[in-house]
Structure 1
Amino acid sequence: MVASSLAVLRGSRLCQWSWKSWARLLGPSPLIRGGQTTWARTNATLSLEPAGRSCWDEPLSISVRGLAPEQPVTLRAALHDEKGALFSAHARYRADAHGELDLARAPALGGSFAGLEPMGLLWAMEPDRPFWRLVKRDVQTPFVVELEVLEGHEPEGGRQLAKAVHERHFMAPGVRRVPVREGRVRATLFLPPEPGPYPGIIDLFGVGGGLLEYRASLLAGKGFAVMALAYYNYDGLPKTMDILHLEYFEEAVNYLLRHPQVKGSGVGVLGISKGGELGLAMASFLKTITAAVIINGSISSVGGTLHYKDETVLPVGMNKNRVKRTKDGLKDVVDALNNPLEGPDRKSLIPVERSDTTFLFLVGQDDHNWRSEFYAREASKRLQAHGKEKPQVICYPDTGHYIEPPYFPLCKASLHSLVGGPVIWGGQPRPHAMAQVDAWQQLQMFFRKHLGGEERTVPSKL
């Protein structure tokens, strides 16, 4: 039809345009070859905003221009972690009538996810290694994300139409990283770029040990002085967590309170998993914890004994016969721990009822590490029964154990150091991703309210 129209016009005196002019006007068109549709080469461009680089917890706008009208394409994103593991995701799309594609308006037609998911190419990433979790260990370097636009809906066979490389950083411009080796304390303090003082927060992770800084470094970009604190298996600290002394954590709190860039007479604590349990213990025994955010934490000591001065909290018991197996042969340990409200295991309970701290519990309702919602509800009951303020409990359906900063992909299963093998963590990718975005905002609002501080916006360009 197009060719015959051009032939007629070419013989007419009205035809003053070249064939190339008509091609520019009509745009690329599909060609039928052997019963299959292919697309003429386009001048596709892949645009990202912010361009070039951004902070990991910052939304990223992704759009494509210069495609043929309604052209089918596949978008793919990939990054390598610091140990060389590949994480990737892909989704199928169709350009609009103008040959444009905006992930904020165009639903994915399938692939790693479906529907309107502007950040799906990041949170839906999966590793090429089994039982592998995406963790950032060196926050002074970014993750480098490669994005591609591929022709058609076959991610492995489509011709590349456009490509972009984007750096996702973990330190906002001007954030200062200060290693701390003070007495026994082994930590890293992150300070915002503007003049202080700031609200102080101690950040604790789980049973993996060592020192993880990525959550603290991101949070410092929001206007908080955040200390990422190691507590075992790191730089002269105990090799195991069989026995932990809360005096160590008290020493870290006192260091933070003495720091000239930290304001107020108390600090906040942010903990996940075992770090949530320790945050609850700090709030129960130490009087200088003003606000605590507990992410999927336990109300009893797990995996070791806690000591503070002349008091001891014993570890809760575990019954290996209650460990289940999934259809894939992985361990499900959600019922393995004994009920800390029954029998001798009551000695494992952390005395949360003593605390005058204000609490926020963030709970994944599909947590398969332990019964996080039960623990949060029980902590709330015990506080209220002793005349304390009712804590805020936010529960997220279909959300697993590792509630991370926004856009970290769901870790479905990985090695558990206490169990000695791979376990499932629970959660479904999309609701888990949405929970992470909300939880990140909730904890910031909570700390600003109870520690003081102004809302800070991460610059759009680094």
Structure 2
Amino acid sequence: MREGGTSQRVGEPLQQTKLQTVWAIPHSGCQSLPLVSMFLCSLPRVAGSSSRSFLRRPLPLPHRAAMAVSVQLQPSPDSLFDQPLRVRVSGLAPLQQVTMKAWLRDEKEQLFRSSALYLADARGHLDLAHSPALGGHYTGTQPMGLVWSLSPHTPFTRLVKRDVASSPLSLHIEVFDGHWSLEQLPHQPLATSTNQRWFMKKGVSRIPVRDGRVRGTLFIPPGNGPFPGVITVNEIQGGLPESRASLLANHGFTTLALAYWRYEDLPEDVINFDLGYFKEAVNFLKQHPKVKGPGIGAMGISKGADLVLSMASFLPDVLAAVVINGCTTSAIFGLCFNNKLVSAGLGYTISRVQIADSGVADIFELVNEVNKDCMMPIENAEGTILFVVGEDDKNWNSRFFAAEAIKRLKEHGKDNFEILSYPGAGHFLDPPFFPFCYASYHMVVGMPARWGGNAKDHSSAQEDLWPKVQEFLQKVLNQ
């Protein structure tokens, strides 16, 4: 268990390891040639080609499977989105080459796809929890690789789920004979299966909130309660994303997904955000009969993270704050409280943005330098703060901001903090199995911006972080 004032650096960069195949079969001229090498050697050589060339077609196998090929999904074809899915294939020929493909469409009919190359075992079985992928969107043993490596067909599209109550995301899993690139897959798969990935489990209540100025959605777990209460605050895009709050409610929290602009009758344009609005939201949630007092938690990402840090600094009822890749001051916009300006807002300089040939903006140097005078007075926080850092965040220098915040707390003799830092992770650390997003539209610069990280490390960070956030919130709010 982590103690206050401690830090943890999660997921040290993995060393590259050479994949070893378990099965080997006799081949003329050698005693026991590894299977992949045997396949490559058996291909007809073409002038200028390499033995490392991508396999485009299945190799002839002496014995095809007598039974029908099928894809099994466990624990069931229906699951929660943050729940691991075990994918197995049976009925293949021994040592058969196959390509696994996954795809889904979001609520706007945007297509996301992934694929990976595999070999069946000697019994004609394939289990993604134990079998290494040999190529494609990822390599190595990655049980959920087909999900977190889903890539948008339309560039710079981020997977977002708006309707969390009435419809799941339908994930289609397909298996094809042979090794193929995603673009050259045969029309007909050997077998298919569909996983319905829901965002609310049975018994969770979803209640729209219009209380005074507060706009949002309340999620209440099944049971008598009361439960720990948590407010979720999202990034700067506006609207009311509910996926994080709904998934958290599945784990025993009463959650309020809080909108703060560009939603219903909330302001479309602002110069300064009013912290009084967030205080109203805290009071609403704290007083709800399904919320266990005396205080509540708050979790924010990106712009939402600095708003949560502000809430922890000024509102004593915020006892637990999860700050995911946030700034130490009010970024972009100013912040007012009790009719006073408490932060002028961290400005930005557009001329520092660099644009790649692909049209993707590098905004790492966009925001101006933070000086001590404009930092949030986080030393006033009465609750505990969990800083979460993606060390390759390219939206801004989250690692630096977290270090400066911790330095300030220590200078004031405070140890009410914890930190989780993830090498190789980028900006948008979402709940587990949300696909890695390399770049998407950024409201401030008006074009796609890259968010940093790499797919494998970022996805591992998401999977590691989610239960640790729940553990932190339960520990602090149940004291």
Same fold by TM (over 0.5)? yes
- Corresponding residue to 1:243 among 272, 290, 299: 272
Distance 2:337 2:114 in 1: 47
- Corresponding residue to 2:347 among 317, 321, 333: 317
Distance 2:199 2:179 in 1: 33
**Alignment partner, residue 84 of structure 1:** 109
Name the amino acid aligned to 1:157.
Answer: L
Mapped contact 1:124–1:429 kept (Cα < 8 A):
yes
**Alignment partner, residue 457 of structure 2:** 431
SS of residue paired to 2:403: helix
- Deviates most, 82-91 or 304-313: 304-313
Mapped contact 2:106–2:159 kept (Cα < 8 A):
yes
Distance 2:88 2:373 in 1: 57
Matching of residue 60 in structure 1 with residue 85 in structure 2: yes
Name the amino acid aligned to 2:429.
Answer: I
Distance 1:52 1:262 in 2: 33
**Alignment partner, residue 72 of structure 1:** 97
Matching of residue 418 in structure 1 with residue 437 in structure 2: no
SS of residue paired to 1:160: coil
SS of residue paired to 1:374: helix
Deviations 1:67-120 (A, max 9, x none): 100000111000000011000100110000000001111000100111000000
Mapped contact 1:356–1:388 kept (Cα < 8 A):
no
Give 5+ residue unaligned stretches, structure 2: 1-41, 45-56
- Corresponding residue to 1:184 among 209, 213, 216: 213
Mapped contact 2:359–2:448 kept (Cα < 8 A):
no
Mapped contact 1:49–1:61 kept (Cα < 8 A):
yes
SS of residue paired to 1:135: coil
Matching of residue 403 in structure 1 with residue 429 in structure 2: yes
Identity among equivalent positions (%) equals: 46
Distance 1:292 1:224 in 2: 14
Following superposition, the deviation at residue 321 of structure 1 comes to 2.9
**Alignment partner, residue 365 of structure 2:** 335
Distance 1:143 1:443 in 2: 24
Distance 1:383 1:173 in 2: 42
Following superposition, the deviation at residue 37 of structure 1 comes to 3.5
Give TM-score scaled by structure 1 length: 0.88
Give TM-score scaled by structure 2 length: 0.85
Matching of residue 37 in structure 1 with residue 59 in structure 2: yes
Structure with the greater alpha carbon radius of gyration: 1
**Alignment partner, residue 142 of structure 1:** 168
Name the amino acid aligned to 1:285.
Answer: F
Give 5+ residue unaligned stretches, structure 1: 1-31, 454-462
Distance 1:367 1:47 in 2: 37
Distance 1:240 1:410 in 2: 30
**Alignment partner, residue 353 of structure 1:** 379
Distance 2:132 2:65 in 1: 24
Name the amino acid aligned to 1:421.
Answer: M
- Deviates most, 64-73 or 159-168: 159-168
Distance 2:412 2:329 in 1: 18
Mapped contact 1:365–1:396 kept (Cα < 8 A):
yes
Mapped contact 1:123–1:410 kept (Cα < 8 A):
yes
Mapped contact 1:384–1:390 kept (Cα < 8 A):
no
Name the amino acid aligned to 2:248.
Answer: L
SS of residue paired to 1:265: strand
Matching of residue 261 in structure 1 with residue 290 in structure 2: yes
**Alignment partner, residue 243 of structure 2:** 214
Deviations 1:24-76 (A, max 9, x none): xxxxxxxx9x9983454651110000222000000000000111000001110
- Corresponding residue to 2:71 among 24, 34, 46: 46
Name the amino acid aligned to 1:406.
Answer: P
Query: When the two structures are aligned, how many residues end up with a matched partner?
Result: 418
Distance 1:127 1:289 in 2: 38
Gap change, CA 1:41 and 1:70, over 3 Å in 2: closer
Deviations 1:437-458 (A, max 9, x none): 11101100100110019xxxxx
Name the amino acid aligned to 1:80.
Answer: R
Mapped contact 1:70–1:95 kept (Cα < 8 A):
yes
